[in-house]
Amino acid sequence: MAVSPIESRYATGMNALFDDKAKLASWLEVEVALAKAHAKLGNMPHDAANEIEEASKNVELDRVLAIEAEIHHDLMAMVKALSEKCKKYGGFVHLGSTSYDIEDTATALLLKRAICLLRKRLLIFSELLKKHAKQKKNMVCIARTHGQHAVPTTYGMKFALWYSETERNLKRLERAEEIISFGKMSGAAGTMATFQGKGREIQGLVMKYLGLKPAKVTNQVIQRDRHAEVVFVLALIGATLEKIAKEIRNLQRTEIMEVAEPFASKQVGSSTMPQKRNPHKCERICSLARVVRANVATALENIALEHERDLTNSANERFLLSQSFIVTDYMLKEMNKILAGLQFFPENIEKNLELTKGMVMAERIMIGLSSKGMGRQQAHELMRSCSIEAFRKKKSLLDVLLGKKQVTNLLGKKALEKLFNPKNYIGEAPEIVERAISK
């Protein structure tokens, strides 16, 4: 039975990249690349490299775990298991390298692959946002600032904003892939002493075989600022998802109910209140975003290792790297389903536009009065006092203004009525949306 929910409830295709089999396979991949580099430079027979490569295909996880139980060193357990599978050249396995030459280089391979998977999910997410932005660019709704009705906007603007942020996240993810795609083959303290003058060549060849770049300088490990940057990018993606999920949750409030996440025909909202339609998918995303964000602090702590290295990063990285990627992937997967089935309630959108009886058009009237010769500050104060009066008397702002000569002397009834149409006060919103979503 799974202990962690990322093994069951929140599992995705990302899990396969971080399980024990995948980790072992990546270690073996690096060992094979190391053997090939030694063979090319004449440090071992080509037959030895070939045998190591063939032997790597037959190393079993159970055997590695059994050896580890005896020697209490996971990487050396792999080295021993690989050596056992070699008939003649087992003594050449792991030649000149230290554990983290293998582990950190293998981690770079895994994280690079994980970023590739995440990018695919993020691209789908981006296209869903773009589709909504384009379809809803003229759907007028009320904007809210400080939780209060502000001025009219469009739903297209909301989605275009999120789309633009996601484009930045895609660029950040590209940068994260670049920063993590470095490996090392430099020995116990990074001096390459065990490679007897051929360290730079060996490291270059190994990374070439693996599709990575050689680190210019290391100590015993790849420096953890790289890993911290990757986790931070995941946290930023999670923050974007949380922002969208929170907006959907708020717009799904009973008294607002402009949009709602999908709700299956047999879905249950509450164990005791049959009528409930809780936005639990969006709430789950908001909850999980906190997990990834919290992991950034741990990733930052891992940067300051002592001297040429210590092991204080090792144990927590077994959690934070896999957990951050899997949880982020799950959040994206869920948000993609939400966006694909997102429901809109046009009648409530219209109702909320008119909820304040025209007060949301006060800015527009102020601008209209200013254009007719009234000072801007005078117009602002007039609209402020009239809005207070309309609220106190529960009257429409238009009715209040029609009783003010300083208003009607400048703007007649027909002109005022035209200015009170919220659908004619969205500025350049449709053009802004088009610019935002165009490549």
Which residue from 141, 137, 145, 236 is spatially nearest to 436, judged by alpha carbons?
137
Alpha carbons 297 and 396: distance in angstroms, whole number: 52
Q: Is 146 assigned a catalytic role?
A: yes
Q: Do the Cβ atoms of 142 and 416 come closer than 8 Å?
A: no
User: What is residue 91's DSSP assignment?
Assistant: G
User: How many Å separate Cα 92 from the centre of its chain?
Assistant: 42
State phi, psi for 373 to the nearest 5 degrees: 115, -10
Q: Do the Cβ atoms of 160 and 432 come closer than 8 Å?
A: yes
Strand 259-260 vs strand 343-344: parallel, antiparallel, or unpaired? antiparallel
Q: Is 380 assigned a catalytic role?
A: no
Catalytic residue among 4, 8, 270, 371: 270
Amino acid found at 299: A
Which residue from 288, 292, 168, 300 is spatially nearest to 226, judged by alpha carbons?
300
Which residue from 43, 51, 54, 307 is spatially nearest to 185, judged by alpha carbons?
43
Q: Do the Cβ atoms of 152 and 426 come closer than 8 Å?
A: yes
| Helix extents (H) in 136-184 | 155-180
State phi, psi for 21 to the nearest 5 degrees: -65, -40
H/E element, 294: helix 280-301
Helix, strand, coil abundance in the chain, percent, nearest 5: 65, 5, 30
Which residue from 237, 279, 245, 286 is spatially nearest to 260, judged by alpha carbons?
279
Alpha carbons 2 and 209: distance in angstroms, whole number: 36
Rounded (5°) CA angle 60-61-64: 95
Catalytic residue among 146, 265, 271, 307: 146
Q: Which residue has the tokens 């339609």?
A: 277
Q: Angle formed by the axes of helices 225-251 and 99-135, to 10°?
A: 30
Tell me the β-bridge partners of 182: 213
Burial of 277 (0-12, 13-18, 19+ CB in 10 A): middle
CA distances, 50 to each of 54, 57, 60, 94 (Å): 6, 11, 19, 14
State phi, psi for 186 to the nearest 5 degrees: -130, 5
Which residues belong to the active site? 146, 270
